[in-house]
Chains A and B, each alone.
Chain A
């Protein structure tokens, strides 16, 4: 497994602002993912963060709204831009350690509330 940390753990933000969430892993990993979990719901994949190239976004998610950086093999950021109350969710990063099995390990999550 890997030790994954996220910052901030929670935040309360005003409508129209942006928040950048950081994800740090204690070892080099090829695959990093960002998920959103809306209140009482399951996880939805936002994008796969690729090192050295643009992130790969899932249907319904766009780079202008959720820009992602992946400057190296241990770090990634997700920005939630121009926030609205509908963006209130838990945002989770995960890493894939056994690529063959797509076995993922998750960070503790960032709980975002937008007023």
Chain B
């Protein structure tokens, strides 16, 4: 079963605005990762945050992790039309033989 649940399911914003996407999960994790997918193509790895980290930055991306609430957020600042894509969170569960479990994804549309 899917562990991550993103919200909102779809988000439409104007270019230049910030986009915030949330992910909740159910079990203990080693880390949480965010991926981007453009038009049904392959996934691009954006950022990984470990369970002992609370915040991480990469360029215009800011990810937070709250393990007490089992949730993460991805903030894209100063959005661009090229950020239009689907965004997925994926959790790497604690324990042996771990595997990534993907959420349902968020469709982000950035209007020029």
Contact = CB atoms under 8 A, between A and B. Distances in A.
* Majority secondary structure, A binding face: strand
Contacts of A48: 99
A41 B104 contact: yes
B45 A104 contact: yes
Contacts, number: 56
Contacts of B103: 42
B40 A45 contact: no
Interface residues of A, number: 25
* Majority secondary structure, B binding face: strand
A114 to B, nearest CB: 16
A16 B98 CA distance: 34
Contact of A92 (B42, B45, B98): B42
B102 interface: yes
A101 B40 contact: no
Contacts of A44: 102
B33 interface: yes
Contact of B43 (A41, A92, A101, A111): A92
A102 B25 CA distance: 17
A62 interface: no
A101 B92 contact: yes
Nearest to B91: A102
B78 to A, nearest CB: 25
Interface of A: 1, 4, 6, 33, 37, 41-45, 48, 58, 90, 92, 94, 101-109, 111
Max chain B Cβ within 10 angstroms of own Cβ: one of A43, A45, A101: A43
B102 A43 contact: yes
Contacts of A43: 43, 88, 102
Closest 3 CB pairs of A and B: A108-B42, A106-B43, A106-B42
A103 B30 CA distance: 11
Nearest to B88: A42
A111 B101 CA distance: 21
17 contacts: A1-B45, A4-B42, A42-B103, A43-B102, A44-B102, A45-B101, A90-B40, A92-B43, A94-B43, A101-B50, A102-B31, A103-B31, A104-B45, A106-B35, A107-B42, A108-B42, A109-B41
